[in-house]
Amino acid sequence: MMNYLFKGLIASAAILACSMQSQAETLRLLTWGGYAPDAVISAFEEKYPDIKVEVTVSNNEEMVAKLRATGGAGFDLAQPSVSRVIAAQTEYGIYKPMDLTKIDTSVIQPNMMKAMEENARIDGAIYSVPHVWGTQGLIVDITKAPDIKGWSDLCDPQYKGRMSMRLKRALLLGMAFDMGKDPFAAYADPAAYQAILDEVEAKLIACKGNVKTYWTGGDDLSAMLLSGEIVVSDAWDSTAFKLYNQNPDIRFVPTRTGALAWIDTFTLPAKGEADDAAYKWINFVMQPEIVTLISESSGSIAAVKGSIALMPEGSRAAVSAAFDDAALAGLKFMPSVPAGLEDMEGKVLDRIKATSN
The DSSP letter of residue 154 is G
> Which string of DSSP letters, residue by residue, matches 280-314?
HHHHHHTSHHHHHHHHHHH-PEESBTTHHHHS-HH
The mean pLDDT value for 38-42 works out to: 98
Reduce the secondary structure of 164-225 to three states and give it as a string.
Answer: EECCCHHHHHHHHHHCCCCCHHHCCCHHHHHHHHHHHHHHHHHCHHHEEEECCCHHHHHHHH
Q: How far apart are CA 320 and CA 300, in angstroms?
A: 14
pLDDT of residue 6: 44
* d(C-alpha 101, C-alpha 99), whole Å: 5
For 184-223, the pLDDT digits (tens) are 999 999 999 999 999 999 999 999 999 999 999 889 999 9
| Displacement of CA 99 from its chain's centroid (Å) | 23
pLDDT above 70 (res 17): no
Taken in order 298, 300, 302, 305, is the CA torsion positive or negative? positive
User: pLDDT by residue (tens digit) across 77-97?
Assistant: 999 999 999 999 999 999 999
Distance of CA 222 to the CA centre of its chain: 17
CB 136 within 8 A of CB 235: yes
Q: What is the pLDDT of residue 9?
A: 46
User: Length of the chain, please?
Assistant: 357
| Pairing between β-strand 163-165 and β-strand 211-214 as defined by DSSP bridges | parallel
pTM reported for the whole predicted model: 0.78
> Going from the N-terminus, what domains does the chain have, and what CATH number goes with each?
2-133+263-309 (3.40.190.10), 134-261+331-354 (3.40.190.10)
Give the C-alpha separation, 253 to 175, whole Å: 14
290 vs 327, residue with greater confidence: 290
Residue-wise pLDDT tens digits, 295-346: 999 988 999 999 989 998 888 899 989 998 889 888 898 888 888 898 999 9
Residues 102-129: tens digit of each pLDDT: 999 999 999 899 999 999 999 999 999 9
Percent over 90 (pLDDT), the chain: 81
Tally Cβ neighbours within 10 Å of residue 341: 18
